[in-house]
Amino acid sequence: MSILAHVDAATNLAKNNEVQLLIFKIDSAATSPYYAINVFKTREVVEAKHHHLTMLPSVHQLLEGTIVLRGLQIPILNLPRWLGSELDNEHKKNSNLLICDFNGITIGLRIMFAYRVIKKNWNEMHAPDSYRLGEEGLVINDTRLDDGSLCLVLDYEKLLADVIPQAMVNIHESGNALANLVIPDKLKHGTVLIAEDSRTAQHHLRQIFTQAKLAYQIFNNGKDLIDYINSHPNPSSIPAIITDIEMPEMSGFTVVRLLKANASTKSIPIIVNSSMTGENNKREAAGLGADGFIDKTKSENIIPLIIEKMESALQLQLA
């Protein structure tokens, strides 16, 4: 797809607290909103009419079937239907499929058309409290296009959890992951700080920490986390920090960079927990000083990873 041909996929955008977004629409109505997805989560956009859709029996109503693209069988999710709209046969025939990678899983989202790619600073991305009312909200944050049009960013992790739950974290395995592990006193008696804007991911992390009987505090974006730490009377008492990469106001990469540059926080283990699991993102996180990286489908292992990094940090201090 030509609209993506010139996309710069370098992750140094995130170092500057920036993001590239692919803007698209789910129908052809002039008054319908624009939607956005991080370019780093996209592979390509293909015309639906050129790809045979194989129907599947007894699946979620949003899972239309699968296509085969470059030898890979890809499930197609009906994004308009998820958003309460329905394309008629003519519009469906002229629609496009946005091929994406989430948590290492390739899926296709039915859209009407891709509009263009824009670059935004994360502080231009906003998450009004109204988006956080209830558990069924589908919008996670928004921004404005150059002409003032509102552009909505969806909680794609909720879509995956709704339609393909096996693509998400296995909460029931989190207890098994803790078996035979000794929890350090600092973790047992401290509070882990978490920056995560997805309600779905927040819910999973709450379940994991509650099951482990460990204290945690969740912030809806990186800026709120940093502001809290800056006012903390004793940052060295914080046992660990977990951060997503994509967040309004401040990206997780910026969170890592700021904390590792601060003498009072640089020794706190920081785990990046993200669905952007490409090697470039992992290298970028490590280069900025993150102590670990775990993709969101493996979040049940996040506490053992924290323990491992805490023990490593203690050994370095004693050396």
Neighbouring-strand partners of residue 216: 192
**pLDDT number for residue 13:** 62
φ/ψ of 23, rounded to 5, equals -95, 135
Q: Kindly report, residue by residue over 281-309, the tens digit of the pLDDT.
A: 778 888 888 999 988 777 888 999 999 99
Decide: pTM greater than 0.95.
no
Q: Kindly report, residue by residue over 81-119, the tens digit of the pLDDT.
A: 999 999 999 999 999 999 998 767 889 999 999 999 999
Q: Which of 233, 22, 234 is nearest to 111 (CA)?
A: 22
CATH class entry, domain 2-166: mainly beta
Q: Which of 121, 199, 145 is nearest to 24 (CA)?
A: 145
Q: For the chain, give every residue range classified as CATH 2.40.50.180.
A: 2-166
Q: Which of 285, 286, 291, 318 is nearest to 307 (CA)?
A: 291
Q: Distance between CA 193 and CA 121 in Å, rounded?
A: 24
Neighbouring-strand partners of residue 105: 102
Q: For the chain, give every residue range classified as CATH 3.40.50.2300.
A: 171-318
DSSP strand pairing (113-121 vs 18-25): antiparallel
Q: Which of 205, 216, 212 is nearest to 175 (CA)?
A: 212
Structure tokens at 286: 């490590």
Q: Answer yes or no: is pLDDT of 1 > 50.
A: no
**pLDDT number for residue 87:** 92
**pLDDT number for residue 96:** 96
Query: For residue 134, what is the DSSP state?
Result: S
Q: Is the domain covering 171-318 a CATH 3.40.1080.10 domain?
A: no
